[in-house]
């Protein structure tokens, strides 16, 4: 599933292929995506030229010389690739932009959790994304991150998946970061020390940077902007390695459900906080029922 490193790889791949290209044709399929394509968007985009391709969190922003912006989210199975126009269109292709040099920018998404939409200007896109997203992992302020963690009773895993806390981290890199930081995914936010929070912030930055170097991770569907698979999946320390040995200590990696997501961790490197009490819900998910430290009083 595309997270920050995969989206960054797509953006880097697309940049030399689409910047400077004119959008000469647009085709939109009938199947509904997360956002419904508006007829007016086609007219607004046709004839404009791509000026830049950027990423913010897991979102891709394609800047046009008209000031308009095409904004893409890959969801679970989305692919945004440049292919020769004469190459057959694979199934689940939903949007195609015909570019000047006989190539097409194609959006393909089997599960249709992704989206393609248009905004009239940079300010509107900025407001749209700023409402949802916190800082990038590399821009995360130490004090701010400590506070984000400590002001909540949620499990650390849930905090990392919250795009308003840190943008771009998903299930894979949350698990990998927690392992590097030696923190249990269910660890309750309020009990996390400054040192632990700092370790987690640094672990996230490291994991994400390493994954980008390896062009992201391909579990099943993910491909880069020219259709190539990623290479980081062979370096996972915990994700998808349930039952296998921890690369650090050899203990068997465990899989549990936290915040509605599968969570992989090493019980030896990432010990549970024994001061916490938990109960298991009917659906097999564990809930913290007692916290060792009371949350700070909420300010009004």
Partner DNA sequence: CCGACGTCCTGCTAGC
Partner DNA sequence: TGCTAGCAGGACGTCG
Stretch that binds DNA, among 16-24, 39-47, 100-108, 164-172 (CB under 7 A): 164-172
Contact call for residues 148 and 165 (beta carbons, < 8 A): yes
Q: How many whole angstroms separate alpha carbon 300 and alpha carbon 294?
A: 18
Verify binding: residue 111, DNA, rule CB under 7 A: yes
Residues in binding contact with DNA, number by CB under 7 A: 39
Asked if residues 8 and 215 have their Cβ atoms less than 8 Å apart, the reply is no
- Give the x/- contact pattern for DNA in 32-61, rule: CB under 7 A: x-x----------------------xxx--
Task: For residue 260, state whether it binds DNA (rule: CB under 7 A).
Answer: yes
State the sign of the Cα–Cα–Cα–Cα dihedral 139, 11, 133, 151: negative
Q: How far apart are CA 210 and CA 159, in angstroms?
A: 22
What is the C-alpha separation between 240 and 165, in angstroms, rounded? 25
Q: Around Cβ 286, how many Cβ atoms within 10 Å?
A: 16
Query: Which of these ranges, 82-90, 178-186, 222-230, 260-268, lies near DNA under the rule CB under 7 A?
Result: 260-268
User: Which residue lies nearer to DNA by CB, 153 or 231?
Assistant: 153
Q: Spell out, one character per residue from 202 to 241, where the chain touches DNA: x when CB under 7 A holds, - when not.
A: ------------------x---------------------
Has 120 been annotated as catalytic?
no
Six-digit token string for 46: 């046709």
Q: Between 57 and 224, whose beta carbon lies closer to DNA?
A: 57
Closest CA to 232 of 245, 214, 255: 214
What are residue 55's DSSP bridge partners?
60
2 is catalytic: yes
Residues that bind DNA (CB under 7 A): 1, 3, 31-32, 34, 57-59, 73, 75-76, 91-92, 110-113, 132, 152-155, 158, 161, 163, 170-172, 220, 259-262, 281, 283, 285, 287-288, 298
């Amino acid at each position: 599933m595309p997270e920050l490193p995969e989206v960054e790889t797509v953006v880097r791949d697309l940049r030399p292929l689409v910047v400077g290209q004119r959008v000469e044709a647009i085709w939109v399929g009938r199947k509904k995506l997360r956002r419904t394509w508006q007829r007016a968007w086609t007219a607004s985009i046709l004839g404009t030229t791509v000026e830049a391709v950027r990423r913010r969190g897991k979102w891709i922003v394609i800047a046009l010389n008209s000031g308009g912006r095409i904004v893409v989210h890959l969801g679970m199975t989305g692919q945004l690739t440049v292919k020769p126009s004469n190459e057959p269109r694979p199934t689940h292709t939903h949007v195609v932009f015909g570019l000047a040099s006989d190539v097409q920018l194609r959006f393909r998404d089997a599960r249709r959790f992704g989206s393609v939409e248009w905004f009239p200007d940079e300010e509107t896109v900025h407001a749209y994304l700023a409402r949802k997203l916190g800082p990038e992992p590399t821009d995360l302020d130490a004090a701010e991150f400590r506070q984000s963690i400590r002001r909540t009773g949620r499990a650390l895993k849930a905090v990392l998946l919250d795009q308003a806390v840190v943008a771009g981290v998903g299930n894979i890199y949350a698990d990998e970061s927690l392992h590097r930081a030696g923190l249990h995914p269910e660890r309750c936010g309020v009990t996390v020390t400054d040192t632990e929070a700092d370790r987690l912030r640094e672990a996230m930055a490291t994991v994400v940077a390493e994954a980008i170097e390896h062009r992201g991770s391909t579990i099943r569907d993910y491909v880069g902007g020219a259709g190539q698979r990623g290479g980081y999946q062979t370096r996972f320390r915990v994700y998808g390695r349930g039952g296998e040995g921890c690369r650090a200590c050899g203990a068997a990696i465990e899989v549990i459900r936290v915040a509605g997501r599968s969570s992989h961790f090493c019980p030896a490197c990432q010990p549970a906080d024994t001061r916490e009490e938990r109960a298991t819900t009917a659906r097999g998910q564990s809930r913290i029922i007692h916290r060792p430290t009371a949350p700070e009083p909420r300010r009004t």
